[in-house]
Amino acid sequence: MSRQLNSLSVEFCLGKWPFVEQFFQDKNFGEMIDQPEAVLSDFLSSELLVELDAFISMMEEFLGTTEEEVHEITIYGGKAKDGSDEKVRELKVRSGEIVCIVGPTGSGKSRLLADIEWVARGDTPTERHVLVNGEVPGDKWRFSSEYKLVAQLSQNMNFVMDLTVEEFLALHAESRLVTNAEEKIQRIWNWANELAGEPFALDTPVTSLSGGQSRALMIADTAVLSSSPVVLIDEIENAGIDRQQALDILIQQEKIVLMATHDPILALMGDRRVIINNGAMVDVIEPSEKEKSNLDELRAIDSKMMNLRHRLRMGERLDNIAG
C-alpha cells in the first residue's frame, strides 16, 4: 500500500476523501460511517485496505486532486552557536508521531521549528538541512501557498479581522475548496469548545476570544482544514486548554507534530524528546517505562489543577482544594 490506511480513523478518511463512503457502501460496510472514531483495520481486511488504496488513487486521478503525501521529514544536524557540530546528526519524524523539543529558555528550540518551517537547505544560521520523504524538497514547499509544509501554532495568537467565528471558518473552508464545509465548521467549533473548556458561540467575534479560546480554535481548524502535513507548536502549555485532547485530535488527522515545551506532562506524552542546548540538538530520548508510570501521577495532579482553575472561573472560593 502506498498509504498507511490501517491506522486511520473513519472520520479522517471521510473528511479527506469523501468519495470513500461509496466504497464502504459497495463493500457492505456502511455501518462504518456511524462509527467515526473507529480505525479502518477494525472493519477492513488487509486485502480490502489494498483495494481501498487503489480506489483512492483512481478517484484522485479522475478528480484531479492528487496530492504528494508527506509521511516523513528528516532533519540533518548543522552547527551549534559556538560553531561545533550538532551531536544529533539525523532526526526522522513520521506522520502520527509527536516529538517534543525541550531545553532552557534561549537554547534554540524556536530556531529548530523555524528551520523546519523554512525547509532549511543549509541556508539558515544553524546550517541544518530538512528532507521531505527522504528527498531534497523542491521550491514548492518553500514558496507555494498551495503546498505549505508547515502549520505553526505560536505562543501568541491574536485575531485582527472583524469576523465571527463562523465567518472566519467559512472563509478558510472556501479558500481550501473543501467539501461538506458546514459539517467541518461544526466539527471545528465543537472540538474547540471541548479543548478550551470555556464555551464560545459561532457568532462570537474572533477578536473577543480569549487566548485559550483562540488557541483551541486554531488547533481544531488546523486539524480539520489545513492541508499542511506538519504542525509546529510553541509552548501549548500556556494556552489553558486540554493538552491531551489537543494532541489526540492532531494525531487522529495523521499530522507530524513537533512541539517546543517546558511542560513535563507534554514532554512525557511525546514519542521522543529532542534536547536542545547552545543552539544545537544534543540528544534524543525515548520515555522510559518509569517515566510513563509517572505520567499517570502527573496527569492526576494536572486534572486537579484544571478543576481548581474552573472553580475560580465560576467565582467559587478555594477554601477547600481537596478532591
The three-class DSSP label of residue 318 is coil
Is residue 141 predicted with pLDDT exceeding 90? no
What's the domain range around 51? Answer: 10-63
What integer pLDDT is reported at residue 160 of this predicted model? Answer: 64
Same domain? 134 vs 214: yes
Same domain? 110 vs 31: no
Over residues 97-104, mean pLDDT: 91
Mean of per-residue pLDDT scores for the chain: 84
Strands 230-234 and 256-260: parallel
Same domain? 37 vs 111: no
Higher pLDDT, 247 or 144: 247
- Cα distance between residue 297 and residue 143, in whole Å: 45
What single-letter amino acid sits at 16?
K
221 falls within a domain: yes
Same domain? 232 vs 178: yes
What integer pLDDT is reported at residue 71 of this predicted model? Answer: 84
Which of 4-13, 186-195, 274-283 holds the top average pLDDT?
Answer: 274-283
Rounded percentage of the chain residues whose pLDDT exceeds 70: 90
Same domain? 228 vs 166: yes
What single-letter amino acid sits at 249?
I
Confidence of residue 125 (pLDDT cuts 50, 70, 90): very high
- Cα distance between residue 114 and residue 81, in whole Å: 16
Is residue 165 predicted with pLDDT exceeding 80? yes
83 falls within a domain: no
Same domain? 135 vs 203: yes
Over residues 226-242, mean pLDDT: 73
Q: Does an H or E element contain 57, and which?
A: helix 46-63
Cβ proximity of 256 and 97 under 8 Å: yes
What integer pLDDT is reported at residue 64 of this predicted model? Answer: 55
C-alpha distances out from residue 268 to 45, 199, 241, 259, 297, Å: 34, 28, 17, 12, 12
CATH value at residue 277: 3.40.50.300
In what side-by-side order are the strands of the sheet with 72-76? 90-94, 72-76, 129-132
What integer pLDDT is reported at residue 139 of this predicted model? Answer: 77
173 falls within a domain: yes
Cβ proximity of 155 and 214 under 8 Å: no
Cβ proximity of 219 and 249 under 8 Å: yes
Same domain? 266 vs 190: yes
112 falls within a domain: yes
Note the pLDDT tens digit of each residue in 190-202: 988 888 878 899 9
312 falls within a domain: no
71 falls within a domain: no
Same domain? 161 vs 274: yes
Same domain? 22 vs 108: no
- Cα distance between residue 286 and residue 290, in whole Å: 11
Tally of domains in the chain: 2
Which of 108, 42, 74 has its CA nearest to residue 260?
108
297 falls within a domain: no
Confidence of residue 157 (pLDDT cuts 50, 70, 90): low
Same domain? 184 vs 279: yes
Same domain? 107 vs 215: yes
Same domain? 43 vs 115: no
302 falls within a domain: no
Is residue 7 predicted with pLDDT exceeding 80? no
- Cα distance between residue 303 and residue 133, in whole Å: 38
